[in-house]
Structure 1
Amino acid sequence: MNRGKLFILILSGFFTVLCGRGKEKEGKQFSGRIEEGSGKSNGNASSVQDGNKTGNAKSPGREAKNEIKAEEKKQTNGEFSAEVLPQNNGNLYGVVIWSMANIYSAPDFLSDRIGYFRAGTTILLSERVKPANPKSPKCVMGWYRLVDGPGYICASKGFEVASTIIEDRDLISPPVTEEVLPYKYGRVMVDFTPLYEKIPLPEEEAMVASYVEEKKKELARQKKEKALAMMESFKKGQSKEILTEIKSEENKGLELADGTADRKDSSQTEPRSLEKSKNLVLKDSTIQENALEEQKQGESEEKTGQEKEESPFPFVSKFLMRGFYLSIDSERVERGIKWYRTTRGKFVRYEPVMIINPPSYHGYILKQDEGFPVGIVLRKNVFARKWNSAGNHLVKNREKVLDKFFGFKIYKNVVDAGMLHYQIDPEGKDFVLSWSVAVFNSPAQPPPEIPEDSKWIHVDISEQTLTAYEGRKPVFVTLISSGNEKKDPVFATPRGLFYIQQKGITSTMSNLALDDESYLIEDVPWVMYFNRSYALHGAFWHNVFGNQRSHGCVNMTPADAKWLFYWSEPRLPLGWHGVFTTKKNQGTPVYITD
């Protein structure tokens, strides 16, 4: 196999975790259909501008990317390149052969589980060590200490140990941590798409095809019956509820790539403020030990929600519905048929899967000496404003277009023709209308539990914004999508003071038990759990940030989630895919308010 596949990397154990409700491969080009934006299911490729490419407006894109890379480097003390293998220096090599393999604080199953590796990871191990606790369950093949970073692994639990590089395994590729997304992702476009354990034989595919045809007919009958029931209810005067349900059905699984939905009435002329006068009730501010332990035990691939129907075929892992997402490892061609291999080692035909490319929008990183007020553009293609030739009226500057997420310092408020504008450059040449902007006027006040010099994160639900602080200084601002409690209160994002409990480069999220809201998203990127199954994480499947959208988690653009992931605590040691907090390694506070 390629030597480039065996290198110290950041890999993941994944947890199939509900979001609030129980809930590149480098070098290889994908020749499949490409859907830009967020996977809009219209069958055609749709164009989405890269974030902050704003005509003649200066884009902070490169600067922000450099900041992200600097934060990664600060955390990991440098990255191994894709072609560098671990140097043996008399140590042993360990290859992770399970989907996830745990790291312990001591050579003892009763010690703290402090992190995990993902399948395919190659690591350096020191000599075999003695168990720390004779009362602990036995590790048959022995305990080994990690050479790079703290921790111990049991060779019986998902590792293969050798004195030389193991080259005969077809390993899953590592996540590409240099990119905004760690994997390629594909959106399932056809209901009941089979996900195979291995590439099937022709006769096996024929058996599955017959089964799928019957399932599609059954689904069509169910939809028809539901439509008739809705029409009957409509006749009885329940129009508001029915129209809401119809709209929900139309939008099920649909990604709004243009992101044009406004958060508030466009007639608004007053600046948005982060200052709140409401009395906030703080919830439990301590790490929930039971919840954390429950989180740590979620080692199986599909433990969240019950599947509606198990596969009747031993060679089929499951049947996927339209709108589900898979993380793609590589392409295979067998008998002239193209297949995608997923990062779980499963196989799916190429035709019903559309590879997506999300936009690269990102928030605003404040400069060293910069403070509030700052602003972020809420919509795409917003014209800047300039003074007319007489210098007495602000008019559109058609040569300068600001894209969504364009961030800037606010130098002055100017009222012209009864409308509030913000001056966005020090010379007073460029302005933007207030209703096109999310404004961060003054720093939020942290609860007293947060130390004066601590990093902390503030999520503002009513404004749909997030601010990262170092002490009392804001360093980063962006738009988010919290739980869609307007649609259903059960989707509400919890309020209060929490702490990051666990971080993972990716984590699978699903709920297959729901009828109209079922979902499966493999390898959700840059995940930071702060309260049981609630997390801050990247979302590549939609682009309506600034609006409520999720099932309870705090959605961010992948670029923003990656920046926050590397900035926040606990730090992820080099080569690990996930890390848990401990008493000695606490997580960053997350303060969520209305």
Structure 2
Amino acid sequence: MPTLHRTRARATPAASRPAFALLALAALFPGCGERGSAPDSPVEVQGGAGAKDTAQGLSPSGAPSPSSPAPAEDEPPAGQPASAPLVTLGGVANVPPPPLEGSPRLASIAMLTRVYARPSAGAKRVGFLRAGAVVEMDPEPAGTDGCPGGFRKIKPFGYVCLGADATLDLDHEIVRAATRRPDITHKLPYMYGTVTRGGPAYARIPTEDDLARHEPSLKKHLDRWAKDEESGATYGLDVWLKWSQHPAPPALDALAQRVTDPDIPWFLRDGRRAPNLSGLIKTDDAVKIDEISRRNGMAFLESFLHEGRRYNVTTDLRVVPADRFRPIRGSDFHGVEIGKDIDFPFALVRRPGGKRWRTEGKRLVDDGELEWRSAVPLTGKQQFFGGKLHYETKDGAWIDDRHAGRVDPAKKMPAWGKNGEKWLDVSLTKQILVAYEGTKPVYATLISSGEAGLGDHETTTATKRGIFRIHTKYISITMDSDAVGEEFELRDVPYVQYFEDGYALHGAYWHDKFGRPKSHGCINLAPEDARRLFFWTEPAVPPGWHGAARSLTGTVVFVHP
């Protein structure tokens, strides 16, 4: 699986990208730690203590002003109907029903369809749809300012431009092909894999002649795949069966018997090519349309067998051989609800190999293993043994600070907490995040911040410290780097919340090191934590949308040592 190196992530130069990527990446944020505001950021600068804060609704001290400024013209309207969160902090999903049949609706036919605050192409973006999304709308046209096809107002707010990115034709082939929506009931919104053996991406299911032409070493590749116990034929078939309606034989049996699934996606049957959502299909006879490399992580909508070989369909409708990927389940770790699962004081075990200790006289004796990433109730007493700080557990044992971080409520409540706002308290030294609703702590978990620890964020992979607001969120988005020798591209990184330039909180499906610094500068969360916090924070992402942006009322993120 890909390792994120110490080089700072950088946005890919536009000139090196194919046309489809220019269209998609024009709306994306750069990778973690990339400086400069993103194309779809609702404001030029977010957060950080100092003179610029006043313009963002923060006082010069870094705390939000006692009276928040009135929403700007391009802010979403206030007073939207209150509704239950789509996902609770306990992980329960409240999936609303789809728009009513027969109601006026429009659909997204692009990887990102912008939602504008006003019916004008010059207005701020307040959210995003993704291909296949169908949302209710006002049937009356709302103007054509910068949009020849005309704007339509959608629910619960905002305007969408009809044309290349959105349509009223609900039978459009992209809408029908991308009906699989992100699964917010699960820790990962799609099926995921990381590339272990590079190879081609296709516009359609390849024929025997296509395989001979584009994968001349296929037999050798499949032989290696069959013997690879860590990421080969015997590993992770359950991942590819996430949405399958029928059982599947073991991969090698399927290959030997040349099994073909009965429910191959309709748009790939009988030699058809996938709809050109990727923008990579340039001719009517196109077969191989892209190359996947070993530094790719990807997400998939569909997985099926054809003549014994399994193929996956990416979120932008490319067809790729599943045997070139390691299926990714993602970490099973998640945090705790304070007041429900546990109460203060407690510790989160952030490193493996820890011990529980009992006292015999003035010395400590081994009392067994400390469960990695468990939450341990404490008495509040702490003491140094052998020069190392230890905490007393409620059952009379002692655990040391090298392996476990003590979690306490904020000693001095900041102004935004006193004002009743939600906020996130992120400790880089402890690698712990605590979520607050005003003055009440409600959730705690382990993070992985920048590899460089408390180093200079300008020159290293350290996470930037300061006081910020979450301004833009995506259920999934691409992050990449083109630093020489450090290239990687992670598509559909889940539950991304940008709070400053290229810095974000997001789920990480490619590692399971939460509790230790690991990232390029972003704050990595276990996928389930990322899902829960994504739907708890502001700006809220409306049902059916893929993202939201709002400059003044996002949740505060306080990042400190």
CA deviation digits over 1:85-140, x for unaligned, max 9? Answer: 4323x522323222221212233222222111111112222312231xx6x22332
- Give, in whole Å, the separation in 2 of the partners of 1:117 and 1:179: 20
**Contact persistence 1:172–1:343 (CA under 8 A):** no
Structure 1 residue 503, shift from structure 2 partner: 0.8
Match of 1:542 among 506, 511, 525: 511
Unmatched segments (≥5 aa) in structure 1:
1-11, 24-66, 214-299, 303-312
Match of 2:151 among 143, 146, 152: 143
- Give, in whole Å, the separation in 1 of the partners of 2:291 and 2:104: 41
Find out whether 1:532 has 2:501 as its counterpart.
yes
- Give, in whole Å, the separation in 1 of the partners of 2:105 and 2:419: 44
2:195 alignment partner AA: V
Structure 1 residue 574, shift from structure 2 partner: 1.6
Structure 1 residue 178, shift from structure 2 partner: 0.7
2:376 alignment partner AA: F
Match of 2:317 among 318, 324, 345: 345
Q: How does 1:412-561 map to 2 (within 5 A)?
A: 412-413=380-381, 421-425=390-394, 428-441=395-408, 443=410, 445=412, 452-485=419-452, 489-511=459-481, 513-561=482-530
**Contact persistence 2:476–2:493 (CA under 8 A):** yes
Aligned to 2:375: 407
Distance 1:154 1:385, change over 3 A: same
- Give, in whole Å, the separation in 1 of the partners of 2:173 and 2:95: 22
TM-score, normalized by length of structure 1? 0.63
Structure 1 residue 301, shift from structure 2 partner: 7.8
Aligned to 1:112: 124
Distance 1:18 1:198, change over 3 A: farther
**Contact persistence 1:538–1:558 (CA under 8 A):** yes
Distance 1:517 1:212, change over 3 A: farther
Structure 1 residue 524, shift from structure 2 partner: 0.6
1:509 alignment partner AA: M
Distance 1:375 1:327, change over 3 A: same
Aligned to 1:79: 95
Instruction: Report SS of the residue matched to 1:410.
Output: strand
Unmatched segments (≥5 aa) in structure 2:
1-24, 37-84, 220-276, 280-284
Aligned to 1:93: 105
Aligned to 1:588: 555
Aligned to 2:12: none
**Contact persistence 1:92–1:163 (CA under 8 A):** no
1:150 alignment partner AA: F
- Give, in whole Å, the separation in 1 of the partners of 2:207 and 2:139: 45
Q: How does 1:86-485 map to 2 (within 5 A)?
A: 86-88=99-101, 90-131=102-143, 136-140=145-149, 142-146=150-154, 148-162=155-169, 169-190=176-197, 192-209=198-215, 315-367=287-339, 372-380=344-352, 382-385=354-357, 395-398=365-368, 402-413=370-381, 421-425=390-394, 428-441=395-408, 443=410, 445=412, 452-485=419-452
Instruction: Report SS of the residue matched to 2:540.
Output: coil
Structure 1 residue 333, shift from structure 2 partner: 3.1
- Give, in whole Å, the separation in 2 of the partners of 1:72 and 1:145: 34
- Give, in whole Å, the separation in 2 of the partners of 1:491 and 1:416: 32
Instruction: Report SS of the residue matched to 2:138.
Output: strand
Structure 1 residue 357, shift from structure 2 partner: 1.2
**Contact persistence 1:21–1:491 (CA under 8 A):** no
Distance 1:462 1:417, change over 3 A: closer
**Contact persistence 1:93–1:165 (CA under 8 A):** no
Question: Percent identity over the alignment?
Answer: 28
Kindly report the root-mean-square deviation, in angstroms, between the aligned alpha carbons of the 2 structures. Answer: 3.8
Deviating more after overlay: 516-525 vs 335-344: 335-344
Q: How many aligned residue pairs are there?
A: 424
CA deviation digits over 1:54-88, x for unaligned, max 9? Answer: xxxxxxxxxxxxx99434899x9x422xxx54323
